[in-house]
Copies of this chain bind each other. A is one copy, B any other.
Amino acid sequence: SKKYRIAVIPGDGIGVEVMPEGLRALDAASRRFGIELEYQHIDWASCDYYLEHGKMMPDDWKAQIGGADAILFGAVGWPEKVPDHISLWGSLLKFRREFDQYINLRPARLFEGVPSPLAGRKAGDIDFMIVRENTEGEYSSVGGIMFEGTEREFVLQESVFTRHGTERVLKFAFDLAQQREKKITVATKSNGIGISMPWWDARAAEVAALYPDVKWDKQHIDILCARFVLQPDRFDVVVATNLFGDILSDLGPACTGTIGLAPSGNLNPDRKFPSLFEPVHGSAPDIAGRNIANPIAMIWSAAMMLDFLGNGQGVEREAHDAMLAAVQAALKEGPLTGDLGGKAGTTEVGQAIARRI
């Protein structure tokens, strides 16, 4: 039978609350489909760990989890304890970069039972994939401050795009489009950001030429965001830089009702390093500790993990499908958490989904 080692990192805030429900669903699915999962529970990569140790992770973090088959991640961040840029650059963003998880794959799908905030949209109307570059671009650590504390003070922040990094995310996205509806939208802002974005457009045109059967267009990020609201049904695959992908993958799921459902895979498609699976929603300290967070994004992320481990095939794919079916049934029949108009707690929703699996 298949056996995988999973590093489990709950993190902060509601990450700690949704993780047990992710594991509960995984346990049910792995039992049913004969997959053996060995969990390595990690208690670092949290703001509490930082307050105690002055760093987010132990120095040997890479040795500790680098051998895992995948990482299941809750959420990191609690700005009242540690500034976000310190907690995130010291954990999640480090994983993405050092494990070369250069694809961040994020579905946006409107399910039955979930009311869309958009007027007149029903289940099936919205169903697209956002492919986000995940290691470079606008999220760079290059830059600095000059004339600090004076009137002349200014700060520089470099965006860095490599040919290597840009081509591989575009190719991944065009490959994906080829397996789906053979159409793709490339997010850009070349009218305003005049050096890097025209260059990005040129890379897109080059890669597009390798896929003559895929219909593509490019759209500036401002109007693209507007169209997510006005015409969400016209998208199938959207590929974007790190920052634009970040924005689109909160906005897309918001259009499908709640960001409490949206999962994501931070993928190292080369499989040299473990990939990381996490809900899009983040740690939400404002609602933490009250058992009201929606566990579905976590459960769906765990399902994505199995599917990636099985290469989209085999018992892993079956387990993924069963988990997603259980989620869809729960959305239709309840119980639901408050963000979806229900009254159930995190645990109750998690248990109901695990039972269905």
Contacts and interface: CB of A to CB of B under 8 A. Distances in A.
A342 interface: no
Interface in A116-160: 116-120, 138-139, 141-145, 150-160
A193 interface: yes
A195 interface: yes
Interface string A223-262: 1011101100000000000110011011101110011000
Interface stretch (A18-26, A84-92, A309-317, A326-334): A84-92
A190 B195 CA distance: 23
Contact of A85 (B87, B151, B197): B197
B247 A141 contact: no
Contact of A195 (B150, B157, B163, B192): B157
Contacts of A120: 119
A196 B151 contact: no
Q: Specify how many copies of this chain sit in the oligomer.
A: 2
Interface residues of A, number: 69
Contact of A88 (B117, B192, B259): B192
Interface in A27-76: none
Contact of A194 (B77, B116, B141, B259): B141
Given A163-B153, A254-B225, A254-B229, A243 B118 contact: no
Nearest to A116: B119
A89 B225 contact: no
A137 to B, nearest CB: 9
A259 B226 contact: yes
Interface of A: 77, 83-85, 87-89, 93, 115-120, 138-139, 141-145, 150-164, 189-199, 220-223, 225-227, 229-230, 242-243, 246-247, 249-251, 253-255, 258-259, 282
Given A221-B246, A223-B259, 4 more contacts: A117-B118, A156-B160, A222-B247, A226-B254
